[in-house]
Structure 1
Amino acid sequence: MHVLSFAKGALAMFWLVALLNLTYPFGEPLHRGLLWASAAMLLVHVGEAALFNGRLKTRPFPWLERFQVLLFGFLHLRGLR
């Protein structure tokens, strides 16, 4: 369970760095690579949210669950019981 929390924290830091890269672009090789990596990861997480939409509807706050899946992807789904 601690590994899952650590991985979620690391992924939250990735999204924070990706947002920082949008506002203050980093150097050229890192800027473009991070932009493509974050776009690909967001696309994968949108697919996960669409795929597990039925499972998320049974939760008390489905909109919050969908948002967490967009941020953390499979790591959040893994924590659901």
Structure 2
Amino acid sequence: MSSTNSQRTEPGAQEDHAQKEELNKKIKEQKIVVDELSNLKKNRRVYTQQPNSNIFFLADKAETLSACKKDLDNMRKDYQDI
């Protein structure tokens, strides 16, 4: 017996799936950022970009790393809530 209901989905299910895929992509990107920051040498400089701008400012590496980890944790939490 084959199931003919496999293609039927709720109207909001596809939207939730697309949102979940987008969030998963952002989580992967954030993991890479955290890994890159974690592996920098101590004397390397880190710059952060101003929102909605092309201006970068010198930032503290430890603060930037902790902020990125926090963002990653929040994204993972949101992903589980979906």
Shorter-chain TM-score range: 0.3 to 0.5
Q: Which of the two has greater strand per residue?
A: 2
TM-score by length of 1: 0.45
TM-score by length of 2: 0.45
Q: Which of the two has greater helix per residue?
A: 1
